[in-house]
Structure 1
């Protein structure tokens, strides 16, 4: 196992006792359906760099094994819930995120891929799940994408081609899910948990103090202080209005809205790239909602500043063209969609813009500097400091006037 190293999450520096040779041999025997399989070597290390993820604990396991057919090796990713006492375990311990992700990997995404294959579209959304369990512990095991040539992009922004690739995958996912929702409205009823349903989510300081910290910051910046008056009225209701948007499909369904199965956490660290292809990872927050939710999330957590400022419209159009083409290819029989209507629905849900702008965009800037979101979420000093990032403030000098010009601050009743 790797020695203590600041490059990795502290709870991934040592594997739990149950993650051992015997457990892994049983997993591989079950997966290969070969009772003769014998594990000969196991090497365990942290699965990813510090800050790549928060809502789980992950290890990479390289194994060598013998069967009647010969000697083989395989690299696996083990994903489990936090066992180390602390904020992460307290925050995530009672959440249903593993039930959601198991359903996504084992049922939902394979079904999506099969529908696309039947239509002549060879699309793979994710890696293969080798093993999963909820008892006696929550754990999932996947085939490792790294030996297949895929990588998480950490030290630079995504190119326009890489962004288009990600949005094409998302558009195909959304299209298939909308067809299934039309034909079988209850098909995703189990996927009813999103980020707002995490235990005590709305009591977390990083959520409740985001807007007040943002308001304090822009009040101290000469070029931004005039916009404070637009955010002050949001103090009492921004969190509730945002939660209402996320939960809309379940609690307040709107006629003619474009509902799909949302990824729920569509950001740069939840993609792995290989040349002109990408794979999606981490489906713990997937739920049914407006397609707008994934698009706005991508705008703030996937796009870099230049794309938000100069290429956002083109990227959304690229996504929507793929969405429409996929609907046609798979035989969707529902009402027609239009880009104008999508834009209207995005505007109507602008409380998501306010929340993402004030809560997640400063965090996105820190992640692009390879800072650990876990450290930031647990430290008030670090949380405050990310709002004073000069690049973040510089972008606000463009975004806030644009929002004003587009009528974003004419708040709905």
Structure 2
């Protein structure tokens, strides 16, 4: 295994059970070939540091033979870390693997089938060739890198890449929106989002984010005027954000558009090939408000320029694909207009406040430093690019009325 510092520490040594016996059994099942013989196995880390957080991933290069001849494949193994620490404590008792297995084996194939029957060609996911919850939580996929796909790491996504990603998200959302109306029981297993990960809301990078953000506002002359709004959120922003994510299950609203949210739609969970994209990592998929996934993408996928100059253009593109897909698959209800979508974004503003104060500084830090941003929390708020964008975003929020209710509560 590699010792390169660019990889996640818990992926530098392969797990003991990832051995020739295990892969032989997997390949026999996959190929339906009892006579299969594994000739060679090489393991290496499958992702760069910061690409993902909840699990570990290895690349397995296998060579094997059957009665059909010799075959070489590159596979991706996704499983739980054997190391202890914060990551294992957070995800060991979660439902992330159950969720992802349900996505790969039930929901995503169904979505693709509905789109295909409507004449809409859309590949949403790479095939999962093996999955198990016991004795270990593990999924194995075909390797997209071997097919020419790449993760974007050292640059922002181009406009064509963003449109490709939003197109797939909109089609996915459209199918799930229709199915939620017709067959809500299909989504019963998908009740868990990022805020329901064990002890996640008590992690220091979550609890310290708003105080760090408020301190930054107080230190900058042009941002002091917003400090009292965020002071008013102390003690309740995290829970209001969690409530927004879990709204469909706990307190569904009549005026909300609900879909199956990807739940973690950021730049490292997409792979691109000639501006065409493939979606990855469905461990946090859950039913929630339609705007939530778009807001998350806006902060974790878009560049600063996209969040600024192209925001409305990209919203309109997403909404156009969403509405057209609903029509093609035979849904007779209405799709949200741009104005209604904007109102929904304001209604779910605690989601955006959380993204602005907590997730955006980590995203900017990760893009610049290629390190684990969870370990450099305070310094992230001193980043000039982050501070300049906060000034721009807060002004826009203020102009759109994000702080009206907060201002009224402060006055009363």
TM-score band w.r.t. shorter chain: over 0.9
- Secondary structure class of the residue paired with 1:66: strand
Give the Cα–Cα distance (whole angstroms) in 2 for the partners of residues 273 and 235 of structure 1.
40
Give deviations 1:169-194, integer Å, cap 9, x for gaps: 00000001011111112210110000
Alpha-carbon contact 1:51-1:370 (below 8 Å) kept? no
CA shift, 1:339, in A, is 2.6
Residue 336 of structure 2 is matched in structure 1 by 337
- Secondary structure class of the residue paired with 1:223: helix
Residue 38 of structure 2 is matched in structure 1 by 39
- Secondary structure class of the residue paired with 2:73: strand
Give deviations 1:314-367, integer Å, cap 9, x for gaps: 001100000000001111133453332222111111111111100100011012
Question: RMSD of aligned C-alpha atoms?
Answer: 1.1
The equivalences for 1:290-309 within 5 A come to 290-309=289-308
Q: TM-score, normalised by structure 1?
A: 0.97
Residue 377 of structure 2 is matched in structure 1 by 383
Alpha-carbon contact 1:215-1:228 (below 8 Å) kept? yes
1:67 aligns with 2:61: no
Give the Cα–Cα distance (whole angstroms) in 2 for the partners of residues 390 and 51 of structure 1.
22
- Secondary structure class of the residue paired with 2:184: coil
Give the Cα–Cα distance (whole angstroms) in 2 for the partners of residues 337 and 9 of structure 1.
41
Alpha-carbon contact 1:12-1:57 (below 8 Å) kept? yes
2:392 to 398, 409, 412: 398
Residue 315 of structure 2 is matched in structure 1 by 316
Alpha-carbon contact 2:11-2:56 (below 8 Å) kept? yes
Give the Cα–Cα distance (whole angstroms) in 2 for the partners of residues 105 and 185 of structure 1.
18
1:275 aligns with 2:269: no
Residue 368 of structure 1 is matched in structure 2 by 367
Alpha-carbon contact 2:164-2:276 (below 8 Å) kept? yes
Alpha-carbon contact 1:21-1:42 (below 8 Å) kept? yes
1:245 aligns with 2:244: yes
- Secondary structure class of the residue paired with 2:99: helix
Give deviations 1:289-334, integer Å, cap 9, x for gaps: 0011101101111111001110011001100000000001111133
Give the Cα–Cα distance (whole angstroms) in 1 for the partners of residues 335 and 382 of structure 2.
44
Residue 57 of structure 2 is matched in structure 1 by 58
Give the Cα–Cα distance (whole angstroms) in 1 for the partners of residues 20 and 265 of structure 2.
34
Give the Cα–Cα distance (whole angstroms) in 2 for the partners of residues 398 and 241 of structure 1.
24
Alpha-carbon contact 1:296-1:353 (below 8 Å) kept? yes
Give the Cα–Cα distance (whole angstroms) in 2 for the partners of residues 298 and 57 of structure 1.
23
The equivalences for 1:208-227 within 5 A come to 208-227=207-226
- Secondary structure class of the residue paired with 1:186: helix
Residue 256 of structure 1 is matched in structure 2 by 255
Give the Cα–Cα distance (whole angstroms) in 2 for the partners of residues 57 and 242 of structure 1.
27
Residue 327 of structure 1 is matched in structure 2 by 326
Residue 401 of structure 2 is matched in structure 1 by 407
Residue 184 of structure 2 is matched in structure 1 by 185
Alpha-carbon contact 1:182-1:334 (below 8 Å) kept? no
Give deviations 1:68-87, integer Å, cap 9, x for gaps: 11111000000001210111
Alpha-carbon contact 2:319-2:336 (below 8 Å) kept? no
Give the Cα–Cα distance (whole angstroms) in 2 for the partners of residues 403 and 117 of structure 1.
40
Residue 347 of structure 1 is matched in structure 2 by 346
Residue 12 of structure 1 is matched in structure 2 by 11
CA shift, 1:21, in A, is 0.7
Give the Cα–Cα distance (whole angstroms) in 1 for the partners of residues 334 and 310 of structure 2.
29
Alpha-carbon contact 1:41-1:65 (below 8 Å) kept? yes
Give the Cα–Cα distance (whole angstroms) in 1 for the partners of residues 367 and 104 of structure 2.
28
Residue 165 of structure 1 is matched in structure 2 by 164
CA shift, 1:241, in A, is 1.1
Give the Cα–Cα distance (whole angstroms) in 1 for the partners of residues 175 and 371 of structure 2.
34
**Aligned pairs, number:** 407
Alpha-carbon contact 1:82-1:93 (below 8 Å) kept? no
The equivalences for 1:93-132 within 5 A come to 93-132=92-131
- Secondary structure class of the residue paired with 2:405: coil
Residue 201 of structure 2 is matched in structure 1 by 202
Give the Cα–Cα distance (whole angstroms) in 2 for the partners of residues 329 and 63 of structure 1.
42
Give deviations 1:132-170, integer Å, cap 9, x for gaps: 000001001000000101000101001111101100000
Alpha-carbon contact 2:260-2:288 (below 8 Å) kept? yes
Give the Cα–Cα distance (whole angstroms) in 1 for the partners of residues 235 and 294 of structure 2.
25
Q: Structure 2: which 5+ residue stretches go unaligned? A: none
Residue 90 of structure 1 is matched in structure 2 by 89
